[in-house]
Amino acid sequence: METKRFNGKAIYQPGGKAAEYSKWACNFYVGCSNGCEYCYCKKGILAGVMGMDKPQLKKCFKNEQDAHDVFVREMLKNLDELYDNGLFFSFTTDPMLPETIGLTFKAINSLIVNGISVKILTKCTWWVDEFLSKNGILVCDNKAAKCHKVAFGFTLTGHDELETNASTNQERIEAMRKLHEAGFKTFASIEPIIDFESSYKMIIETLGFCDLYKIGLQSGRKYDKNEIHDYLSRILLMACSAHDRKVYFKDSLLKQAGIDRAHLPLNCVNSDYNLFQ
């Protein structure tokens, strides 16, 4: 019998394609100001609920303090699972926008104190220099614990014109390098693939300071199978020559390519890969 997923106000277990990305996640806000033309939150029935052009605190919360209080209660209720799987921010907004970063860091600190690892995915870089100059905005005093428990990820498509209000892809790459050099784990969401050449370029430009690549297609788009195979061949060749870098290909990409995950090299990990091991 399938175990019922936890679905709290802040913390929850994603279903569907989101579950492939993370087993546990947190959403405090809906809406985002990055202006990405391909954003799935702006498509179909999701648009009216999550497709706003500015982040808004979810209506189930009275204010940010209430949101954090709810978060802590839900965290404590699921400590064992969160300790094993970590927590991801966020599927419904960018957690590092000026409007969202305060509550994001407050929640991250609560997780670190309880020994829970954190993965943050963003397209914003405005906060990075200040964060590093202050040895971290987090109130946790143990920098080693912070570095060990927090991973910063950046979405990289190579197409700034489709992400008009976000930091440029080059700014994100530079921010990733700085965070990696400071001791943090880093990952890249190479998704959606707008075109294969731009996608491949983003990977090549981050070799040496990106610990994990998560690569996926654009939802609902049909790609040329030969182009996918050529792209995968180049990525696999790169992966085999950089043994300390891991690659995760999303199911939709392998399905369109007609490739069985079991036949991929050891550098190609599964969705449950532990970035902190």
Taking the C-alpha atoms of residue 246 and residue 210, their distance in angstroms, rounded to an integer, is 9
Task: Indicate if the pLDDT at residue 241 is higher than 60.
Answer: yes
Residues 6+ apart with CB under 8 A from 116: 75, 79, 82, 83, 86, 87, 149
The answer to whether 157 touches 173, Cβ cutoff 8 Å, is no
Model-level pTM? 0.93
Q: Which helix (H) or strand (E) holds 30?
A: strand 29-30
Q: What residue spans define the domains of the chain? A: 7-122, 135-277
If we measure between CA atoms, which residue out of 9, 39, 5, 37 comes closest to residue 19?
Answer: 5
Task: Indicate if the pLDDT at residue 42 is higher than 90.
Answer: no
Q: Summarize the confidence of residues 250-259 as an average pLDDT.
A: 92
Q: How confident is the model at residue 16 (pLDDT cuts 50, 70, 90)?
A: confident
Helix (H, G, I), strand (E, B) or coil at 119: strand
For tokens 């052009």, what's the residue?
53
Mean pLDDT, rounded, of the chain? 90
Task: Indicate if the pLDDT at residue 3 is higher than 90.
Answer: no
SS (H, E, C) the chain: CCCCCCECCCEECCCHHHHHHCCCEECCEECCCCCECCCHHHCHHHHHHHCCCCCEECCCCCCHHHHHHHHHHHHHHCHHHHHHHCEEECCCCCCCCCCCHHHHHHHHHHHHHCCCCEEEEECCCCCHHHHHHCCCCCCCCCHHHHHHHEEEEEECCCCHHHECCCCCHHHHHHHHHHHHHCCCEEEEEECCCCCHHHHHHHHHCCCCCCCEEEECCCCCCCCCHHHHHHHHHHHHHHHHCCCCCEEEECHHHHHHHCCCHHHCCCCECCCCCCCCC
Q: Summarize the confidence of residues 202-227 as an average pLDDT.
A: 92
Instruction: List, for residues 139-164, the tens digit of each pLDDT value.
Output: 455 666 677 889 999 999 999 999 99
Instruction: List, for residues 83-135, the tens digit of each pLDDT value.
Output: 999 999 999 999 999 999 999 999 999 999 899 999 999 999 999 999 988 75
Task: Indicate if the pLDDT at residue 39 is higher than 60.
Answer: yes
Helix (H, G, I), strand (E, B) or coil at 56: strand
